[in-house]
Structure 1
């Protein structure tokens, strides 16, 4: 939106310059050619800027779409990682339960953590007056 406002301002200024050129033609014809060349150069630059702006907005749209797709893939992979981490945790616990000596410490830690959670819940219930 801001670019369009700037373009509108530029067009307005261009019209003013054109009117100025007409006045110069009347009063100082030798300056006219230089001013016309400058004006033509400005028009060429504006055209180039408009093309560049259009290309950049198209690229931005494409990149936004690609960003959304990558964001969805990332979220999906993150969910898969969470599921796999939970499954790995469960496998270690099942191994510890089945008597695997490597995972006995893990099982003890898990049981201690559960006992602490239960104690915390009991303390909250007692504090709440139930």
Structure 2
């Protein structure tokens, strides 16, 4: 009976060892995946910033094209001018209120 208990004990010890090895592998893989996730999130952030920069450049180019007489961008130019006129009117109204 003592040999049977010893065999079971050895089997159990072997299984625990296998679980520990598996745990360490999983732990290392998790750390690796966390690092990769952080790298990918940083990459996504940088790409979003670049996209925003390119969108701003695109808007500036459209306005410049409208100023240059590009017929495709005339509507945009009219819209921008109307916005500027409204802002100037608002500023004039505020200054007039302040002088009262």
Q: How many corresponding residue pairs?
A: 96
TM-score (norm 1): 0.60
- Which runs of at least 4 in structure 1 moved beyond 6 Å after TM superposition? none
| Residue in structure 1 matched with residue 48 of structure 2 by the alignment | 78
TM-score (norm 2): 0.75
| Residue in structure 1 matched with residue 65 of structure 2 by the alignment | 95
Q: Secondary structure at the match of 1:44?
A: helix
Q: Considering Cα pairs closer than 8 Å and 6+ residues apart, tell me whether 1 or 2 has the greater RCO.
A: 2
Q: Could you tell me how far apart the structure 1 residues matched to 2:20 and 2:75 are?
A: 68
**RMSD over aligned Cα, in angstroms?**
2.7
Q: Which runs of 5+ in 1 are unaligned?
A: 1-29
Q: Which runs of 5+ in 2 are unaligned?
A: none
| Residue in structure 2 matched with residue 21 of structure 1 by the alignment | none
Q: CA 1:113/1:44 → structure 2, altered by over 3 Å: closer, same or farther?
A: farther
Instruction: List per-residue Cα deviations over 1:7-57 (Å, max 9, x = no partner).
Output: xxxxxxxxxxxxxxxxxxxxxxx4x44433332222111111100111111
